[in-house]
Amino acid sequence: MRIAIQEDMLAGRNLLEKFERAKALGFDGIEFWAKGLPDRLEEAMIALERAELVASGINFGRQSSMLSPDPAERERALEELRAAIMCAMDLGAVGVGFVPAFFGPALPDLSPLMSPEQLEAELLIAHLRTLEDYANAMNVTLFIEPINRYETHFLNRVEQAAALARRRNHPRVKVVADLFHMALEEDDIPAAIRSHADVIGYVHLADSNRRLPGQGFTPFAHAAAALKEIGYDGWAAFECGDPGDNAPRAAAYALELPASLAYLKEAGF
């Protein structure tokens, strides 16, 4: 496995300083945030080259909602996602990770025909049909990310995201296994990894308290063993603290990251 870190977790006056710090710490790559990335693309490419790092992936973050009842909002989300796919291609990242919906349902309850969650699933499948071949043409994979029940009502466990990925049965549609969210939602993290080996395409790292690995109670050694067992050789990226807004913590992370990386190495990552 190769280890990456999200760009906002790094201290530095500019991207080059941040990436040089990541290189010195021993990271292999950088995960970028999609919002505003097209305007920073040239700087990002130069900084990666000079720091001798690569882009691991692009995180879509919280932008427009692709599952909104508003057609204009949905189209904005698809435009933003296509832009992220293009950035991933330009940076050489393996793919774009996205959370389909945050918090409560926005679509109506049409029971007994369909519940809001069933409507969201069908809408997501329809979006994937329009995006997967575009992503494939760019040599980019789409990673569906399930997150915990406190942040969304939709897709909380790996098995739920995996079911949608398998419905598409497309090589460019995979799933993120996020160990923080899995610690909250999965009864058995290693078992969940083994059960969905065919669709896990990216991994996020944070401990049970969303702090750095080694600062909580997540069984990282067991997760690493399961990932090795299924032959996973992709990226595992740090996503800790307040994802997308970690700048205030970056200086503290700089002091804590060496111990966390050593812990992960001992755990088998």
pLDDT band of 154, cuts 50, 70, 90: very high
Task: State the average pLDDT over residues 115-140.
Answer: 96
Pairwise CA distance, residues 105 & 162, whole Å: 20
Predicted confidence at residue 3, as pLDDT, reads 98
pLDDT band of 249, cuts 50, 70, 90: very high
Domain span at 33 = 2-267
Which residues have CB under 8 Å from 90's CB, separation 6+? Answer: 41, 45
Q: Give me the number of domains the chain comprises.
A: 1
Predicted confidence at residue 81, as pLDDT, reads 98
Residues 185-220 have pLDDT tens digits of 999 999 999 999 999 999 999 999 999 999 999 999
Task: State the average pLDDT over residues 252-261.
Answer: 96
pTM summary value: 0.96
Residues 90-103 have pLDDT tens digits of 999 999 999 999 99
CATH of the domain at 112: 3.20.20.150
pLDDT band of 9, cuts 50, 70, 90: very high
Predicted confidence at residue 30, as pLDDT, reads 98
